């Protein structure tokens, strides 16, 4: 594989878009390779957290206009649908991934890049990063879920402005608009993401998976439906890993070795 790179270090999988000469624009080939990489890493016991980043100066400039649009459109509706399925497919896998995921946004993030950005559980960007829904600038609406991303994460007014003007925003504005969690100087980016990944590695993995799924699911539910869902989700998590929950309670009540509001129980015991 050449246009998607990855390496595993200390249980963190660093996955990269690897088309720096194209600002990491997503092509059908890249989308297929990314799905293979995600499948390979999802149940790898050597991986506890996945970080998605980009080689060079961009995270991803969105969809490759030549390869993803012009060339697939030339193949007719079947080609279009296949290309859509391949891109939306790995974004969907990433949204419900078995491991916690972090977007490490090192540079440009445009258009279709909002799909994987939203799919990652957390997002940290460098102060040099730029964000934009550029679709309006070349005559289409923000498709591929980008409009949904904007309306989920931004206020209605900010989403309207962002999508209708096509203007770039910087990382500080992206953090203010809740498009990302935070922005840091580029020289601190990897260290901050590593720090965050190490925090997640200390948590119970079953509880982490249940938690990230719950956040996404309940956001579209009524309170009563969410309450019922969370009761069932907790029961399911307990049946899958009841010993982990019991160990946390034991360390708190019996050993008094940690306080849940201040630290994490030792999952190695």
In the sheet that holds 122-126, the strands lie side by side as: 4-9, 12-17, 49-54, 101-105, 122-126, 182-184
| The pair of three-digit structure tokens given for residue 151, joined into one six-digit string | 């309306």
State the pLDDT confidence band at 1, using cuts at 50, 70 and 90. low
More confident: 215 or 260? 215
Is residue 60 pLDDT above 90, yes or no? yes
Question: How confident is the model over 85-124, as pLDDT tens digits?
Answer: 788 899 999 999 999 999 999 999 999 999 999 999 999 9
Q: What is the pLDDT of residue 260?
A: 84
Question: How confident is the model over 135-187, as pLDDT tens digits?
Answer: 898 888 888 889 999 999 999 999 999 999 999 999 999 999 999 999 999 99
Is residue 263 pLDDT above 80, yes or no? yes
Q: What is the pLDDT of residue 19?
A: 97
State the pLDDT confidence band at 29, using cuts at 50, 70 and 90. very high
Q: How do strand 12-17 and strand 4-9 relate by DSSP bridges?
A: antiparallel
Q: What is the pLDDT of residue 227?
A: 95
Asked whether the beta carbons of 57 and 108 are under 8 A apart, the reply is yes
State the pLDDT confidence band at 57, using cuts at 50, 70 and 90. very high
Strand locations in the chain (E): 4-9, 12-17, 49-54, 58-60, 101-105, 108-110, 122-126, 130-132, 169-170, 182-184
Question: How confident is the model over 214-238, as pLDDT tens digits?
Answer: 999 999 999 999 999 999 999 888 8
Q: What is the mean pLDDT of residues 58-72?
A: 81
Cα–Cα distance for residue pair 117/45, rounded to 1 Å: 24
Percent of all residues in the chain with a pLDDT value above 90, rounded to a whole number: 71
More confident: 3 or 66? 3
Asked whether the beta carbons of 48 and 12 are under 8 A apart, the reply is yes
**Beta bridge partner(s), residue 184:** 126
pTM metric for this prediction = 0.93
| The pair of three-digit structure tokens given for residue 268, joined into one six-digit string | 């190695």
State the pLDDT confidence band at 70, using cuts at 50, 70 and 90. low
């Amino acid at each position: 594989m050449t246009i998607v790179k990855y390496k595993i270090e200390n249980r963190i999988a660093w996955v990269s878009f690897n088309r720096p000469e194209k600002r990491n624009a997503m092509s059908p080939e890249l989308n297929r390779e990314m799905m293979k990489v995600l499948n390979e890493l999802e149940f790898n016991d050597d991986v506890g957290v996945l970080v998605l980043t980009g080689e060079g100066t961009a995270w991803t400039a969105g969809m490759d206009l030549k390869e993803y649009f012009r060339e697939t459109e030339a193949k007719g509706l079947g080609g279009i649908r296949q290309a859509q399925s391949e891109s939306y497919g790995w974004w969907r896998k990433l949204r419900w991934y078995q491991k916690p995921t972090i977007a490490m946004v090192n540079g440009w993030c445009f258009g279709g890049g909002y799909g994987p950005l939203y799919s990652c559980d957390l997002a940290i960007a460098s102060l040099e990063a730029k964000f934009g829904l550029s679709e309006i600038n070349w005559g289409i609406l923000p498709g591929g879920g980008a409009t949904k991303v904007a309306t989920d994460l931004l206020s209605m007014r900010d989403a309207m402005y962002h999508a209708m003007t096509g203007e770039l925003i910087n990382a500080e504005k992206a953090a203010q608009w809740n498009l990302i969690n935070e922005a840091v100087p580029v020289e601190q980016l990897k260290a901050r993401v590593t720090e965050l990944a190490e925090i997640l590695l200390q948590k119970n993995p079953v509880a982490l998976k249940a938690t990230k799924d719950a956040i996404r699911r309940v956001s579209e539910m009524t309170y009563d439906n969410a309450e019922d869902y969370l009761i069932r989700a907790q029961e399911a998590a307990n049946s899958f890993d009841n010993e982990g929950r019991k160990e946390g309670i034991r360390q708190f009540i019996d050993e008094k070795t940690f306080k849940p509001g201040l630290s994490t129980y030792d999952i190695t015991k």
